Amino acid sequence: MSVMDIFGDEFNKYRSPLVSRYASKEMAYNFSDRKKFTTWRKLWIYLAKAEKALGLPVTEAQVAEMESHAEDIDFAMAAEEESKLRHDVMAHVHTFAHCCPTAAPIIHLGATSCYVGDNTDLIMLRDGFDILLPKLARVIDRLSNFAEKYAGLPTLGFTHYQPAQLTTVGKRACLWLQDLAMDMRNLQRAREDLRFRGVKGTTGTQASFLQLFQGDHDKVEDLDRMVTEMAGFKKAYMVTGQTYSRKVDIDCLSHLASMGATIHKICTDIRLLANLKEIEEPFEKEQIGSSAMPYKRNPMRCERCCSLARHLIALLADPLQTASVQWLERTLDDSANRRISLPESFLTADIILSTLQNITEGLVVYPKVIERHILHELPFMATENIIMAMVKAGGNRQVRTLLLHN
């Protein structure tokens, strides 16, 4: 077997487990090459349509030719072109032009690489939020049902992971719900705050388009507005460099990381309660908890959420550092980092939400175990009532507390 045979086998190559093992098909597609490069072609079509409508020499036949080839991407040709040109956008311009010979002269007319690159990223971010928000809503719904069902079931509360006063199973779930509701607010806000980069020039000045339209400022502004609307955005950023501000990435990923912290806390709580055998995550009939200890019922789903939530939280360092080192109108040291950090944040958030939904749909509560723990601690919990009764009878609270404590 040759080296080429070995490396030609997909199972001999590293594949991110975020895609191969965990993430949903819709989120994996959202950050796929297919979605990315078909979006580039759509953006070139939007640009051509708007330029035609505003009087530039673009014909209906050229637009129709581009539209007929929006989906049939020759990825092998694009890869070969990129290996020669060392430029991914121009490689795809050439590949698109190859199947659209009539439209070739006007593809990418007046645009810079970030016209397709940044605008596509913003579309993916927007669509990523649209995938996550319903999943978060479902988790909140399932957990709300759980909280309502167990609103009146007393259980030991814990502070410092030491038995404290009573709470209820439902009340504790409301602590989780409140955090998730804050995450819903944050994700909705981040999604609604997203704008389109729009049709800007190499340094964000739109000078190239002003030249195309022979100094007509109104047409340049109309072009920006028309393409923004075609892409499904209400607004474009008023000011950009060559790229949209990388603060936008911080805004998006910080809310995802914050949600990761919420889910880590929820799943850690469930893991602690599983150790007490008060509550446990769903455990399938044929599931194996341990290869050596078959009696074990490990909280594997919660552990997975905690593990991936740490990754989601850690990813926030990338956009923070990237935004801080963007020089003047732009520098390219953002590119390779963002190819990893943006998709991985959304893929990871997608996975932990799907897993948490599964957990919250099948949480198992053991009231008898909970009752036994309460009864064991009840004499100690009664001390607060005893102290208050002593104070009412004229005693000193601090002295009584010290005596009872000792």
Task: Please answer whether residues 348 and 356 qualify as being in contact, where contact means their C-beta atoms are separated by less than 8 angstroms.
Answer: no
Determine the pLDDT at residue 293: 47
| pTM tops 0.75, yes or no | yes
Query: Which segments of 69-216 does DSSP mark as H helices, in order?
Result: 75-85, 88-99, 113-149, 169-193, 207-212
Determine the pLDDT at residue 201: 85
* Fold: same for 24-109 and 112-195+245-281+295-365: no
Nearest to 343 by CA among 128, 146, 166: 128
- Rounded to whole angstroms, the Cα distance separating 291 from 155 reads 33
Q: 38 vs 34, 281, 314, CA distance in Å?
A: 6, 41, 31
> Other C-beta atoms within 10 Å of 218: how many?
9
Which among 20, 68, 290, 307 is annotated as catalytic? 290
CATH code of 24-109, in short, is: 1.10.275.10
- Rounded to whole angstroms, the Cα distance separating 13 from 359 reads 32
- Rounded to whole angstroms, the Cα distance separating 76 from 213 reads 36
User: Tens place of pLDDT for every residue, the chain, 406 residues?
Assistant: 555 555 566 677 888 888 888 889 999 999 999 999 999 999 999 999 999 999 999 999 999 999 999 999 999 999 999 999 999 999 999 999 999 999 999 999 999 999 999 999 999 999 999 999 999 999 999 999 999 999 999 999 999 999 989 999 999 999 999 999 999 999 999 999 999 999 998 888 898 899 999 999 999 999 999 999 999 999 999 999 999 999 999 999 999 999 999 999 999 999 999 999 999 998 765 545 544 445 557 899 999 999 999 999 999 999 999 999 999 999 999 999 999 999 999 999 999 999 999 999 999 999 999 999 999 988 877 667 667 777 777 767 665 555 555 5
**The CATH number of domain 112-195+245-281+295-365, selected from 3.40.50.720, 1.10.287.110, 1.20.200.10, 1.10.3720.10:** 1.20.200.10
- Rounded to whole angstroms, the Cα distance separating 98 from 76 reads 13
Determine the pLDDT at residue 292: 47
Bridge partners, residue 23, by sequence = none
Known active-site residue 290: yes
CA angle 7, 9, 15 (to 5 degrees): 85
Task: Enumerate the domain spans of the chain.
Answer: 24-109, 112-195+245-281+295-365, 370-405
Determine the pLDDT at residue 313: 98
